[in-house]
Structure 1
């Protein structure tokens, strides 16, 4: 298998002698994906963000006839920038030229350059002469098929006694999307993960998702039947999907709630299933009721009375072996509720309430860190959220209560101290017994509970060529948590400096350190908590030296330390080459990386270009070489083909992975193929 992998890679290289390469995603999505990976969310599906940018590239936002909700979809814009934009329109009237964006406080050249492909000043009325035939002729449709496979045979696919994967190693995804801008949409997605079966009873297709959406019909702002997401406030009361979290742009810390959206992702856990709508009421009021019923994966246990109980919901979406299939859809979850909001371009005030009911009973271990977790079958959640712009200060916050359970509060403010300095301050306090299955607020824990924190961030741009960002987040955990048997605390700080003398060149230096506490290793006589210190330094260089070619280089160093004795060091070096001709049918990219880290604890994450809508971040740990090649070929005007080959080589290992994913040998390689037809 080793020689086969090398042969396959060389064949791809020889087939494309110019090493054609293209960034498969927008730069904004690349930055977002890497930030999510660093926050432990490397598996998040960001296809919806890429699709949104693809849509705005074809149908730019008319800046003179837009609203705050639409501008929030340009996710790199901060709420403060959005507020400043509408204040500028209010004081100066409509924009006459896109160059006027430079006059708006907080809009630097980098922000404006990111916006330009997706905005316009030309008014478009798509409904002036809408006819029934237009629903087909003027609509946008897309059919997409993706295939992937690890080339080496993993342990779970061998004919061994005991637990093994029942399906093939193929990863399959098929999706169809129909959209008529601002009128309606329909989507259908089917997916099979590696190891899952297909075409067999009782589960012929492991995951199927779809929806029908209607927009702007009389008093109906939005109507979705099928799978959907809800995002309101700052993520304390009602937020499905993921939130962006902390990053080098400190003004993006405030969550940008988009309300009701059709769900088009391949993630198998972060959505509602049923019906939801948003109604326009008089005087800027919007009412959003919803109902959802889903079967969730869960491992059920029998208590002393012979009744089924559980402690958590499985969200992996994997059903490969007998145990995973047995736990598939064993828990019924019913959720219903509503949100009432007052919405304008400068003020948002809302009330959310929802009720969750299960058909099985949750139990908790009162002696463990789960002693304040959810118990029972019913849970209620209520919250108040707001954001308002007042004299160059953007205030935002949310107050939430769970029934049963405690309170959670988040309060933040951001402002432009001058044209070159912006600042963010945020305080959060989540009670130990606050419980919510649909919460994604800013924080260090996986749930919005048992945490207090204070965040301070500053962006400083002293010169158009220089940009500096700094944040400090100090947090405490009043009660025990996973692998921490008493109260603990810590901090996280990041400093980043960007130098970009010309549009084609950018140099970035970043320093980040995080300190937390954890139980000592087993066998230690002293049982007090030990400090965990994770420190990294990164140097990036991106250079477009030719109209067809660009490069990206990175050096990253990391140190992981637990207590006074255990220290781990690691580093990553990589070189990317991009080939992006304007009118060629072929484009793509290639990477060569060398990494050396002591263990998984000192791992390093880095963005990886992938096929369209593919997962794009890699975790580097151990000692080895990483390389991949992405190619895109435009077969016809509306038919595109993407392919990818990637390889890990560990020269000093006899096997890779563990459990059923273990591979005999020191190489792991995979291929992907994606075909998209737009019509």
Structure 2
């Protein structure tokens, strides 16, 4: 019977990767809607791809490592370690005995876990590094086939580089004790090499793990993620989504940085040291040269109002701003960690070469000024029976503070709930904060969030959340205190491993200044609603079909309500043991304006960002193909085409394209050795 159960779980695990791709779609679509358009969202797919190739050893894992699996909630992770503290895990079937680990969760886990007794340094000799380590080399080429305005020989501002986007990335991983990474990238319009700043983007690091008391040591580029993201968090961060447990941050502490994002990392040296008695210390120091637009003062000094995060250096102005601001950050995190309790204190200082000043607009009254900023914070999480409590208190020394507290509970085998409260002062300042919230920055916000996940009879599941928020002080385009709310409800039906459908409703209301020329005085309500119906059907092991229809409604004040619609069909072709696989999409889009745009995940080459904005009136199609000519070599090719009706130009500014067609190609080569 145990063998039959194991075979069933292994068979189910084959479909778990497809299930996780669906979850990645949900997360990326939600993040893209609330993130800057230039933000790189590839870190999520990157993380799970790594775990597929390097499964987590459940005998030697840690809470930080399991937090890298997006479908495990902090409560499930805490329950796992509470279980193995009393009994050694001998078989994956034992996961069923852990509270919160239902068959669906276990199925999702299988592609990313293993049970092994190997001991890293005890079993491996460093002289075998070149033979045993896993090496991964990627070269990517992408470009638009149509010529953008910035590449034409016109007077004024223009792009100084070539239209190709090129990425080279090399990684090696020596079991779980040594890793390294090198990333080089140029964006379209950039020069690959600048004699003043060198390569447009170069990132590298080397990391050691499990070296006696030194749990981690990273030299080069790294990210830091502690607590709930109020005090210190760099890199990727989750937010609100259909899985209501995603609002509880899963901090992983120190980790090597391997993304191509040019802004969200530290550069220097950092480590995590086990001081004994469950106490861990993570000191760090970072020195970087950032992009900023400087303004000269009368005494031959410079000031600035913000830091550039786009990573684009295509024009004379962008090149002038490149690496114009020196930044030094140093500090540490001290944590007490047990199976059911984590208490941590974080303190660090950020020093900048030039003075920050605020604009003359009233909403900038409480913005950060000066050259030095000290941040401190206290975070905690504690599991008591079936309840996971978590929170963080953060302070920008000399100004305001921010606070978040929440609880996550498994009320029964079918019902789980999350409650979250947040309060961010208008004068709380932090350059490395990514806590849950509505604003681009973690300040000037108060809110309550409540969410439920419920397993209904008949293969149905229901997720719902409500979030009420208010902004005590002014914001950009909001000239007084304001408030709003967000509601989401999703009903999902699954029939075995072959069919899944979901019906989603989302409503969000905020307040904003009237448009220019309006006779209305005061703030106007901005309402966004969306209705989504999607389904996926897998008739056999080779093919998987997906259909999605989404309608959006947008209205500001008493203006006429505008709408948008997106309908697409995807087909995935993934035959077992075949050298060729791929997917194709045909989509129809019609939106009244950019306000009614729709975000939809797009399959991409490996480690691609996967986010797409659908706006306008036309069709969008792409084909994404993977070919494996040899065991160690993979080749990806993506060809995308958008055709718009009644359109003479696409895009704005230097990105403008003449005509109604936009075509992009992407070619990627991966060599593993």
1:365 match = 359
Distance 1:403 1:412 in 2: 24
- 1:474 matched to 2:472? The reply is no
User: What is the CA distance between 1:367 and its match in structure 2?
Assistant: 3.8
SS for the counterpart of 2:228 is coil
Q: Which residue of 1 aligns with 2:71?
A: 76
> Corresponding residue for 1:56?
51
Structure 2: distance between partners of 1:597 and 1:583: 42
SS at match of 1:127: helix
Match 2:24 to one of 25, 29, 42: 29
Distance of 1:320 and 1:374 partners within structure 2 = 29
* 8 Å Cα contact 2:222/2:255 also seen in 1: yes
Q: CA deviation at 1:203?
A: 4.1
- 3-state SS of paired residue (1:377): strand
Give runs of aligned pairs for residues 68-217 of structure 1, distance below 5 A.
68-90=63-85, 93-217=87-211
Contact 2:39 2:310 in 1 (8 A): no
In 2, distance between residues paired with 1:44 and 1:376? 27
- Indicate how the Cα distance of structure 1 residues 279 and 74 shifts in structure 2: closer, same or farther if over 3 A, else same: same
Segments of 5+ residues of structure 2 without an aligned counterpart are 1-16
Query: Distance between the aligned counterparts of 2:31 and 2:205, measured in 1?
Result: 27
- Mapping for residues 319-468 of structure 1, pairs under 5 Å: 319-365=313-359, 367-463=361-457, 465-468=459-462
**Following the alignment from structure 1 to structure 2, what is the Cα–Cα distance between the partners of residues 379 and 204?**
30
Range that drifts further, 366-375 or 173-182 = 366-375
Q: Is the 8 A contact 2:444 2:473 kept in 1?
A: yes
Cα deviation code 1:571-609 (max 9, x no counterpart):
000000110001110100000000101011110000000
Q: How many residues align?
A: 657
Say whether 1:590 aligns with 2:556.
no
Q: State the secondary structure of the residue aligned to 1:342.
A: strand
- Distance of 2:380 and 2:526 partners within structure 1: 36
Question: Which whole-Å deviations, capped at 9, do the CAs of 1:38-71 have from their partners, x for residues lacking one?
Answer: 3335654344443433343344223344322221
How far does residue 100 in structure 1 lie from its aligned partner after superposition? Answer: 3.3
Q: Residue 220 of structure 2: which of 218, 221, 226 is its match?
A: 226
* Aligned-partner SS, 2:362: coil
Alignment partner of 1:566: what SS? coil
Contact 2:363 2:476 in 1 (8 A): yes
What residue number does 2:271 align with?
A: 277
Q: CA deviation at 1:30?
A: 3.4
Greater relative contact order (Cα 8 A, min sep 6): structure 1 or 2?
1
Distance in 2 between residues matched to 1:55 and 1:565, nearest whole Å: 48
- Bigger shift: residues 61-70 or 237-246: 61-70
The equivalent residue for 2:61 is: 66
Equivalent of 1:525 in 519, 540, 551: 519
Counterpart selection for 1:262 from 256, 265, 269: 256
Which residue does the alignment assign to 1:537?
A: 531
Instruction: Confirm or deny: 8 A CA contact 1:24 1:610 kept in the other structure.
Output: no
Moved more, 562-571 or 264-273: 562-571
TM-score (normalised: structure 1): 0.94
Distance in 1, matches of 2:100 and 2:235, equals 28
SS of the counterpart of 2:264?
coil
Q: How far apart are 1:84 and its partner, in Å?
A: 2.1
How far is 1:521 from its partner?
Answer: 0.9
Q: Distance in 2 between matches of 1:257 and 1:114?
A: 21
Residue 522 of structure 1, CA deviation: 1.2
**SS of residue matched to 1:266:** coil
CA contact (8 A) 1:197 1:206 kept: yes
CA contact under 8 A between 2:290 and 2:322: conserved in structure 1?
yes
The 8 Å contact of residues 23 and 589 in structure 1, kept in 2 or not, is answered as no
Say yes or no: does 1:297 pair with 2:306. no
Deviation at 1:26, TM superposition (A): 4.2
CA distance in 2, matches of 1:248, 1:41: 21
* Structure 2 residue matching 1:133: 3-state secondary structure: helix
Distance 2:329 2:663 in 1: 42
Q: Is the 8 A contact 2:230 2:442 kept in 1?
A: yes
Looking at structure 2, the residues matched to 593 and 509 of structure 1 have their Cα atoms a distance apart, in angstroms, of: 19
Tell me: CA distance 1:241–1:162, structure 2 relative to 1, closer, same or farther (3 Å): same
Residues 169-201 of structure 1 show CA distances to partners (whole Å, capped at 9, x for unaligned) of 000011111111221111111100000012452
Contact 2:42–2:610 (8 Å) recurs in 1: no
Distance 1:352 1:204, change over 3 A: closer
Which residue of 605, 608, 626 corresponds with 2:602?
Answer: 608
- CA separation of 1:526 and 1:50: change in aligned 2, threshold 3 A: closer
TM-score for both structures, normalised by structure 2: 0.95
Compared with structure 1, are the counterparts of its residues 478 and 597 closer, same or farther at alpha carbon in structure 2 (3 Å cutoff)? same
Q: Secondary structure of 1:369's partner?
A: helix
Q: Label 1:195 to 1:377 Cα distance change in 2 as closer, same or farther (>3 A).
A: same
Q: CA deviation at 1:128?
A: 3.0
Match of 1:665 among 659, 663, 666: 659
Give the deviation of 1:226 after TM superposition.
Answer: 0.7
1:33 CA drift (Å): 2.0
Moved more, 200-209 or 323-332: 200-209
Partner of 2:593: 599
Shifted more, 129-138 versus 242-251: the winner is 129-138
- The answer to whether the 8 A contact 1:183-1:214 is kept is yes
Say whether residues 1:507 and 2:501 are aligned partners.
yes
Distance 1:29 1:409 in 2: 29
- Native 8 Å contact 1:298 1:313 kept in 2: yes
Q: Residues of 1 paired with 2:70 and 2:37: CA distance? A: 18
